[in-house]
């Protein structure tokens, strides 16, 4: 005869551990979806990478202004015909292949500089990010053999920036929105997009674009048109839905950018691990003796002559690169690691003469800085700018002593004729 023990009161209603786990995962997913759809995530981080990458590319274009024709133009050893043949095999997009005239090259180069300034200031950020991408791809795909690694990072990030809402803070767009001048009627924006659409229709009709890039660019045009129509004529639920879609796309792009940075460090670190010079700790010794990347030979040789410093820097570089993706789950450790990576790239920029590579990677590292730190830095910069504006030099006002009382800068001064 089998006996059954009485059920413990309240025990039957308790969920199983697997049910509690599934409920917890479901709640976390719901909170995550609500977070990425209701607001723009990481607005300060996206603003930092917008400013950093546009500033780096602008500085590179201005520095190479004198040598622009030798690098990307008609005087380049990699001729226009060779570039055209190469691009036909790899389907690389560049508007410089549309015509081989020197005038067209100069227009594209100046337009790339203008787009960099627009994106740096955050003026018409959606348009600026698209033009910035076109300018970066136009020049870099014209000559793939020019660059030091930093251009490759900007090449990839310029595409991702198009899908981010990187102008929500620290931009002229944000300032215009804060003053209530971000309504549906945007004459400048309409003119810019109408001109871009006309050019896109022309080059599409002439067969200058392949199918993939044509679909991408026309998709961006129609998305911008839909956004403008919703803001102009559907301010209720349609605008809410468009905002949610834009936030989701922005979140996805930011995730891809973060994953790209982690992939760069992981691949670089694991490739270094397989190298014999990195394994025995002597890799940096040989790097510091290369004439092409040692702008300060005395400093480089002084560091290379210390076996302990070379050993620590070599192993330290491998360790931080391999460990970087695994340190992002703890905020304190992540901040320390980001500071280490920024210092490492600053040292690379100085010792090896790779300033643009260093600036590009420092910008990529800044993506993982905490929001509170970025806000404090932005507030300090804003206060410093405000103080400089408040300090106005007193103008020299010419006057003649007439014996009358005049008022200068809020002060009454009695000016009398001298006794004769």
- In this prediction, residue 63 carries a pLDDT of 95
End-to-end CA distance of the chain: 137
Between 400 and 332, the higher pLDDT residue: 332
Closest CA to 354 of 398, 293, 283: 293
174-207 pLDDT per residue, tens: 998 887 766 556 788 889 999 999 999 999 999 9
In contact, 150 and 354? CB cutoff 8 Å? yes
289-331 pLDDT per residue, tens: 988 888 999 999 999 999 999 999 999 999 999 999 999 989 8
264-280 pLDDT per residue, tens: 999 999 999 999 999 99
pTM: 0.85
The whole-number average pLDDT for the span 129-140 is 96
Residue 37 has pLDDT above 90, yes or no: no
Domain spans, the chain: 40-252, 267-369, 379-409
5-14, 21-30, 362-371: the lowest-pLDDT one: 5-14
Helices 150-161 and 237-273: crossing angle, nearest 10°? 160
Rounded to 5 degrees, what are φ and ψ at 187?
Answer: -65, -45
Buried b (16+ CB within 10 A) or exposed e, 94-106: bbbbeeeeeeebe
């Amino acid at each position: 005869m089998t006996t059954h023990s009485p059920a413990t009161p309240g025990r039957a209603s308790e969920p199983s551990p697997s049910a509690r786990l599934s409920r917890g995962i479901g709640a976390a997913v719901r909170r995550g979806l609500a977070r990425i759809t209701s607001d723009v995530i990481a607005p300060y981080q996206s603003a930092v990478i917008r400013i950093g990458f546009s500033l780096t590319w602008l500085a590179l274009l201005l520095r190479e202004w004198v040598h622009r024709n030798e690098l990307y133009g008609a005087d380049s050893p990699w001729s226009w015909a060779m570039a055209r043949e190469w691009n036909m095999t790899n389907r690389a997009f560049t508007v410089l292949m549309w015509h081989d005239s020197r005038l067209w090259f100069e227009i594209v180069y100046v337009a790339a500089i203008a787009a960099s300034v627009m994106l740096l200031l955050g003026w018409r950020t959606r348009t600026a990010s698209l033009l910035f991408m076109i300018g970066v791809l136009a020049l870099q795909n014209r000559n793939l053999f020019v660059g030091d690694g930093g251009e490759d990072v900007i090449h990839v990030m310029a595409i991702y920036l198009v899908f981010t809402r990187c102008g929500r803070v620290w931009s002229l767009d944000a300032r215009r929105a804060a003053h209530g001048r971000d309504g549906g009627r945007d004459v400048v924006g309409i003119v810019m997009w109408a001109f871009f659409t006309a050019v896109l229709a022309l080059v599409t009709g002439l067969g200058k674009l392949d199918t993939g890039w044509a679909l991408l660019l026309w998709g961006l045009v129609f998305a911008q048109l839909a956004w403008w129509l919703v803001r102009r004529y559907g301010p209720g639920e349609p605008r809410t839905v468009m905002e949610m879609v834009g936030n989701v796309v922005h979140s996805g792009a930011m995730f891809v950018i973060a994953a790209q940075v982690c992939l760069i460090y992981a691949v670089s670190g694991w490739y270094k691990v397989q190298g014999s010079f990195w394994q025995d700790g002597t890799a940096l010794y040989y790097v510091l003796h290369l004439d092409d990347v040692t702008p300060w030979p005395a400093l480089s040789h002084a560091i290379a002559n210390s076996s302990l410093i070379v050993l620590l820097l070599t192993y330290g570089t491998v360790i931080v690169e391999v460990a970087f993706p695994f340190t992002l789950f703890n905020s304190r450790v992540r901040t320390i690691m980001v500071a280490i990576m920024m210092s490492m790239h600053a040292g690379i920029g100085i010792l090896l003469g790779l300033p643009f590579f260093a600036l590009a990677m420092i910008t990529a590292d800044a993506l993982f800085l905490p929001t509170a730190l970025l806000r404090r830095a932005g507030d300090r910069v804003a206060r410093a700018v405000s103080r400089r504006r408040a300090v106005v030099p007193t103008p020299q006002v010419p006057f003649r002593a007439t014996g009358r009382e005049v008022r200068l800068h809020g002060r009454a001064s009695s000016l009398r004729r001298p006794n004769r």
